[in-house]
Amino acid sequence: MKIKKRILASGIIGLAFSSILVACSSGANDENNKQLTGTLTSVGSTAMQPFVEEASKSFMASNPGVQINVQGGGSGQGLTATVNDTADLGNSDIFAEEKEKIDASKLIDHKAFVVGIAPVVHPQVGVTNLTQQQLIDIFTGKVKNWKEVGGKDQAIVLVNRSESSGTRATFAKFALKDNQEFRGNGAIVEDSSGTVRKIIGQTKGAIGYLAFSYIDNTVKALTLDGVQPTNENVTTNKWLVWAYEHIYTNTNGKNKQLEDAFLKYILSPEIQNGLVKKLNYIPIIDMKVERDASGKLK
Amino acid sequence: MEKNEKTSLAVQLQTPAKRMFWMEWRGRSITYISVWIVILVLLSLLWFITSKGLQPFLNGEVTLSQFFSSNWNPQDNKFGSLYIMLGSFMVTICATIISAPLGISAAVFMTEIAPKWGKKVLQPTTEILVGIPSVVYGFIGLTLLVPFIGKFVGGVGFGLLAGTLVLSIMILPTIISISVDAIESVPQKYREGSYALGATRWQTIWRIVLKTALPGLMTAVVLGMARAFGEALAVQMVIGNVPNAPFDFFTSISTLTSMITQNMGNTVPSETFNQILWSMGLVLLLITLVFILLIRFITRRRDA
Amino acid sequence: MNAKLIDRFATLFFYAVAILIICTLIGLLGYIVIHGISYISWEFLTEPPGSYILGQVGGIAPQLFNSFYLLILTMIITLPIGIGGGIYMAEYAKPNKFTKFLRLCMEVMSSLPSIIIGLFGLLLFVQYTGWGYTLAGGALALTIFNLPLMVRVVEQAITAVPREQKEAALSLGVTHWQTITKIMLPVALPGIVTGAILAAGRIFGEAAALLFTAGLSSPNLDFTDWDPTSVSSPLNPFRPAATLSVYIWKVNSDSLSTETAAIVSGGSAFILICVVLLFTIFARLLGRYIYRRLTSS
């Protein structure tokens, strides 16, 4: 069926446009020289895109024969493209195992760095700490006013991420204990961290969640059950709400040598202590605990 | 070489009539192929979107009644898209309620009240409004309208009201330009007759011109609605994207287009969530087709 | 007397509406200009985007290039088909069921929401072909978007050619096809050119159809490499390419800092509007110029 469709599709395209387009797909060179050459395509998570772009820029600078082509598209696209081997590197905010329909056995997981995520509020809600149960009550809509959790008499405004967002998945899983009642009934769903921060900073009674790297003095990060949202606490898993940022490769990838070189570069101290820290993420080499796809500590 | 010469000689010896026939045949074929490309592209588009959109129902992963319910919670595999569809309708209808009277009035102004400077100023104005890309409308909505609503009117700013206002400006030029055509096609005799009976200009406009031009005006409004219904990015940027019940101007809502744009990239093609997005695309396509049929129906009645 | 008063109020109302619409446009354009013009600099136009995660703004050079290049690719595909289709509609179409069906097809195609075209492109040009996000896929999607418009433009331009010219040619014993290509097309040219450029303006600002076909990002372009088969060449049609409009949407929907988003999209919106306006003005002037040349000679 699928093949039939594919033939039909290519037939139509061919019929209509073949005379006009001269096909010329990227020609990757497979050379076994010391000098690395070739092309890598990296697709996936928009949150990781700036990091991968920066890392690939410096990688290309020291390896002039290499071209790394970094695209966004979202974690889902990244995983699919890597399984289908249309991309070499698939960037994902979540474990491949968490997407039911992805054949994770075809993928190799490389954890690039860690992000901590914290609940943040408008600075004047009068609350600095919440228990996890209170947080769940707020995000499931059971608590609608800040005074019910010890704050001011101010209605709670929820700022959320789209259902398919990785940040949202992490927050739901670890901050809200995978509560099924948690759904999109917030005041607004935004995918841009910058906009989320702006809205929370401007809207009285607003609460949302942000990666540590976006938290500044316009918003206030809450402590959860008395635990501070710091990089330190993430490395020991005292702060529970964090996630790996993954770069996946296909087990039968066609550019193995180049992939390995690039991933080695990502995990090198130069990037981990340099770029990762500069962007306020947590280096993977600092982690004292390890978590599997189901969220259990190893 | 010799052979080449022979064939060219043969061509020269051919009767001009035969050559002309071939030339004509070739030219005709080129145009024929062109229109068939158009037809094939459209049919394959309809076929692909339809088959892809029906997939989750044929697979039995989601039933139609689930799809048309209001229970939306993708984490729990609940894909009730009723509020999302209603969101699309609400924002379209609200924008039309603002735009239709304004657009038709502007058209009347250009044709009946002040044709000279109306044409000179309003015509280019609408042309420029058409030319402004939809992301620019969205950007202005996001940076100007949303903060304004949030500060002075109510809510966070994002929501049905912001979406309505942005869309109403976007569909205005469509409504104006088609309304102008409709009003201009009203025969001058009708107006003269009305004036001869002692009617005022307003009475002539209201009783004669608008009534005669009604089918054309309806076409204008329906086309405007079709455009509003299918608009994606500008709406997505200001509407808030929460699948709430779309009955309050200050709550964030979601539309079919905003759901598709926001989630297509983060989901994987084999996932039910992703397939449901295609089903939403199919609903969007079907509603657009209904709009087009509606226009056909209106104009056919006029022709008869 | 009462009727007169109502008439007066009605006139007042119509004036108010006209002024409201004009003010809206002035407001919109003014806002874009005021917000955009201060960000425009030579660097903004000629440099690639900075790493906005580090707070650099950078420029929009690749996006601007992509927009124009995509436009050219689209036109290369659209023009022949559009002219062929337009000739058919104007000259060969007989008043029968097939022509009726054809008109319905054009009508449906021209009112399709652009996101639907984007989805179709995602399915066909991105997933089934295995190309991924490419300029070529984007150009093909835009072709679907543009084709009905182009056919209509050509048809109208050819229909507007005076019948005498056509009949004079036909009476000389020339074939119908020759009459069309040698006599009618040149006369119809101003109309076609004007229509094509106006359509180009529409394509230039299109974004929804491109999100899922040409993609949201651009590889690092090497503007000294003009070999279309090289990956980093700007001319390679099989590379992903974000256009200016797509870029505006992208920085607003998933950028990391609202300040850089405001600068980038403010400046880009200004450029976008300028280009679209230039297209409109250029189309009018060129159409008038060609018309004058053709009628005076």
Find out whether B275 and B281 touch, Cβ atoms under 8 Å: no
B264–A74 CB contact, under 8 Å = yes
* Tens-place pLDDT, residues A51-87: 898 898 889 888 888 888 888 778 888 898 899 888 8
| Maximum average pLDDT range among B21-25, B72-76, C219-223, C244-248 | C244-248
Tens digit of pLDDT per residue, chain C (297 long)? 588 899 999 999 999 999 999 999 999 999 999 989 988 998 888 888 876 556 677 889 999 999 999 999 999 999 999 999 999 999 999 889 999 999 999 999 999 999 999 999 999 998 888 888 899 999 999 999 999 999 999 999 999 888 888 888 888 878 888 888 888 898 888 889 888 988 888 889 899 999 889 988 777 777 887 888 777 788 888 888 889 999 998 888 766 667 778 888 899 999 999 998 898 888 888 877 877 776 765
ipTM of the complex: 0.90
Lowest mean pLDDT among A244-248, B226-230, C220-224: C220-224
- Domain count of chain B? 2
Q: What is the mean pLDDT of chain A?
A: 83
* Tens-place pLDDT, residues A138-174: 988 888 899 999 999 998 988 888 888 888 888 988 9
Q: Residue A26: what pLDDT?
A: 35
pLDDT above 80 for B36: yes
Do B198 and B286 sit in the same domain of this protein? yes
CATH number at residue B251: 1.10.3720.10
Helices assigned H by DSSP within chain A: 2-17, 49-62, 75-83, 132-139, 166-170, 193-202, 231-235, 256-266, 269, 276-278
What is the count of residue pairs from A and C with beta carbons less than 8 Å apart? 107
Q: Residue A30: what pLDDT?
A: 39
> Is C11 contained in some domain?
no
**Cβ partners under 8 Å of residue C149, min gap 6:** C110, C195, C199, C202
- Domain count of chain C? 1
pLDDT above 70 for B145: yes
- Which of C77, C80, C255 is nearest residue A192 as measured by Cβ atoms? C255
Q: Residue B53: what pLDDT?
A: 95
- CA neighbor of A99 nearest in space, from A72, A73, A76: A76
Find out whether B170 and B98 touch, Cβ atoms under 8 Å: no
* Chain C partners within 8 Å of A49 (Cβ): 217
Lowest mean pLDDT among A80-84, A288-292, B4-8: B4-8
| Residue type at A145 in one-letter notation | N
* Tens-place pLDDT, residues A3-38: 555 555 555 444 444 333 333 333 333 334 457 888
Per the DSSP assignment, residues forming a β-bridge with A207 are A121, A158
A46–B240 CB contact, under 8 Å = no
Do B174 and B263 sit in the same domain of this protein? yes
Find out whether C14 and B109 touch, Cβ atoms under 8 Å: yes
Do B100 and B155 sit in the same domain of this protein? yes
B269–A182 CB contact, under 8 Å = no
Span B246-268, mean pLDDT?
88
* Tens-place pLDDT, residues B152-172: 887 778 889 999 999 999 999
Nearest-CA residue of chain C relative to B201?
Answer: C7
End-of-domain residue from the set B58, B80, B96: B58
pLDDT above 50 for B252: yes
Other beta carbons within 10 angstroms of residue C236's beta carbon come to: 24
Find the radius of gyration of the CA atoms of chain A.
Answer: 22
Nearest-CA residue of chain A relative to C249?
Answer: A192
Do B157 and B296 sit in the same domain of this protein? yes
Strand, coil or helix: what is C202? helix
Domain range for residue B22? 2-58
Residue matched to tokens 């009201």: B161
Any CB–CB contact under 8 A between C79 and chain B? no
Q: What is the mean pLDDT of chain B?
A: 88
Q: Residue B168: what pLDDT?
A: 96
CATH number at residue C54: 1.10.3720.10
Nearest-CA residue of chain B relative to C206?
Answer: B133
Do B91 and B177 sit in the same domain of this protein? yes
Domain range for residue C201? 40-296
Q: Residue A16: what pLDDT?
A: 43
Smallest CA–CA separation between C43 and chain B, in Å? Answer: 22
**Cβ partners under 8 Å of residue C148, min gap 6:** B38, C106, C107, C109, C110
A70–C217 CB contact, under 8 Å = yes
Write down all domains in chain A, each with its CATH number in brackets.
Answer: 38-115+243-286 (3.40.190.10), 116-235 (3.40.190.10)
* DSSP per residue, B114-151: -HHHIIIIIHHHHHHHHHS-HHHHHHHIIIIIHHHIII
* Tens-place pLDDT, residues A91-110: 999 899 888 778 888 999 99
Span B33-62, mean pLDDT?
94
Q: Residue A297: what pLDDT?
A: 84
* Chain B partners within 8 Å of C202 (Cβ): 131
pTM for the model stands at 0.87
Find out whether A240 and A174 touch, Cβ atoms under 8 Å: yes
Per the DSSP assignment, residues forming a β-bridge with A223 are A129
Do B12 and B112 sit in the same domain of this protein? no
Do B108 and B29 sit in the same domain of this protein? no
> Is C7 contained in some domain?
no
Nearest-CA residue of chain B relative to A191?
Answer: B262
